[in-house]
């Protein structure tokens, strides 16, 4: 018998109507989304701001109702069986400074654990253990209002895991955090899944490397639609038959011209102001257009500092799917 998936959506659609006509037009945040996330998966939802990632997580975590379609978490309808869904889930949002500032870190975490019916003694031990793992043990008795943004974010991640949910929704959990804090959170997520192979993590991010490093499977979402859904490796294979070219050149006057070259599947660039370089990245159907690109660069009086053929990254997949980069 098939195991019940952790998450299943069928033609899930969410439309936001403006309050007044002059306040803008209708936004279709999710458009007929079909997803199936298996138990034990670390599933990533990758997309730019406004793609519909948070809306999807809000629906799955019973904060928001869909306009049409269905969503099931642990086999339960989020619309009608929300009480039962809530017993199995938790959610953490990044970039927020939530928490009761007048309470201590321990009190905050303990209080939420009590809402989930965890025995006080068990909860306190778990809180101590987790604070240790996140390097926050010395902040246990500090008021939440005295924590830095990163410390608050770590506390919130602990809040999500301390209730030992079957399925946890992490909405950009490392948003705005420094490298160390992000690494601590990513490591914890991986360790947690290793220790609890039946648990499921659904994570939204717009950090490619994070999605690549963590996720078993990734759904690429843009304008409310799932454009691709597979393992990072398989997604990368989709562009592996193409040629990926990275080129650092001195400042270019016109970059738009590269999009029109024959053979160029997708193209992005970033400016490195410090070094005075333009970093170009091409996904090409074949290598025939390389000479045209080189000529165009030199034709603008620019100098090529480096040129290399590279392995495709998740970003290349994303660019191919969405037609633009995240940054």
Partner 1 sequence: MAVMNDLRTIKNAAWLGWEMEANWADPFLFATYSIVKPISATLILVFMYMIVTGGNTDNAYFSYMYVGSALYMYIAEVLFGVTWIIHDDREHYMSLKQVYIAPIKFYAYILGRSAIKIAITTAGVIITLAFGVLALGVDISLWDVDWLLLLGSTALGMSCICVLGLALGGITFLTARHSIGINEGVAGVFYVMSGIIFPITALPTWAQSISKILPVTYWMDSMRRALMPDAMAELGSVAGVDVTGLSGISDLYIMVYLAISTAVFFALSMAVFKYADGVARRKGKIDWTSTY
Residues in contact with partner 1 by CB under 8 A are 16, 58, 61-65, 83, 86-87, 89-91, 93, 96-103, 107, 111-112, 114-117, 159
Q: 98 or 300: whose CB is closer to partner 1? A: 98
Q: 118 or 181: whose CB is closer to partner 1? A: 118
Closest CB 62 distance from partner 1, rounded Å: 6
Q: 99 or 232: whose CB is closer to partner 1? A: 99
Q: 80 or 260: whose CB is closer to partner 1? A: 80
Q: 75 or 325: whose CB is closer to partner 1? A: 75
Give the 3-state secondary structure of the chain.
CCCCCCEEEEEEEEEECCCCHHHCCCEEEEEEEEEEECCCCEEEEECCCCCCHHHHHHHHCCCCCCCEEEEEECCEECCCCHHHHHCCEEEEECCCCCCCCCCEHHHHHHHHHHHCCCCHHHHHHHHHHHHHHCCCHHHCCCEHHHCCHHHHHHHHHHHHHHCCCCEEEEECCCCCCCHHHHHHHHHHHHHHHHHCCCCEEEEEECCHHHHHHHCCEEEEEECCEEEEEECHHHHHHHHHCCEEEEEEEECCCCCHHHHHCCCEEEEEEEEECCCCEEEEEEEECCHHHHHHHHHHHHHCCCCEEEEEEECCCHHHHHHHHHCCCCC
- Asked whether 208 and 315 are in contact (CB, 8 A), the reply is yes
Return d(Cα 21, Cα 15) in angstroms, integer: 15
Q: 92 or 249: whose CB is closer to partner 1? A: 92
Closest CB 283 distance from partner 1, rounded Å: 37
Closest CB 148 distance from partner 1, rounded Å: 16
Q: 25 or 308: whose CB is closer to partner 1? A: 25
């Amino acid at each position: 018998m098939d195991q019940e998936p952790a998450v299943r959506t069928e033609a899930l659609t969410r439309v936001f109507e403006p309050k007044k006509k002059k306040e803008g037009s209708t936004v279709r945040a999710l458009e007929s989304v079909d997803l199936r996330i298996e138990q034990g998966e670390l599933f990533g939802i990758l997309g730019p701001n406004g793609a519909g990632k948070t809306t999807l997580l809000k629906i799955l975590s019973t904060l928001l109702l869909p306009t049409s379609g269905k969503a099931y978490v642990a086999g339960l309808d989020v619309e009608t069986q929300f009480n039962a869904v809530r017993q199995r889930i938790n959610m953490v949002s990044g970039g927020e400074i939530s928490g009761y500032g007048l309470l201590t870190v321990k009190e905050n975490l303990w209080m939420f654990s009590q809402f989930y019916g965890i025995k006080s003694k068990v909860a306190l031990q778990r809180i101590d253990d987790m604070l240790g793992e996140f390097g926050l043990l010395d902040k246990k008795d500090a008021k939440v209002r005295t924590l830095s943004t990163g410390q608050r974010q770590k506390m919130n991640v602990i809040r999500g895991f301390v209730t030992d949910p079957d399925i946890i929704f992490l909405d950009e959990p490392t948003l705005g955090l420094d490298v160390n804090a992000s690494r601590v959170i990513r490591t914890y997520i991986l360790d947690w899944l290793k220790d609890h192979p039946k648990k499921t993590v659904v994570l939204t991010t717009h950090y490619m490397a994070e999605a690549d490093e963590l996720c078993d499977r990734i759904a690429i979402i843009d304008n409310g639609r799932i454009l691709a859904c597979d393992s990072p490796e398989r997604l990368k294979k989709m562009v592996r038959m193409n040629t990926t070219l990275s080129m650092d050149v001195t400042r270019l006057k016109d970059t738009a011209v590269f999009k029109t070259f024959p053979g160029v599947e997708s193209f992005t660039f970033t400016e490195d102001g410090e070094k005075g370089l333009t970093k170009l990245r091409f996904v090409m159907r074949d290598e025939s257009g390389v000479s045209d690109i080189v000529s165009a660069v030199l034709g603008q009086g620019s100098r090529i500092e480096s040129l290399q053929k590279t392995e495709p990254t998740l970003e290349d997949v994303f660019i191919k799917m969405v037609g633009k980069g995240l940054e």
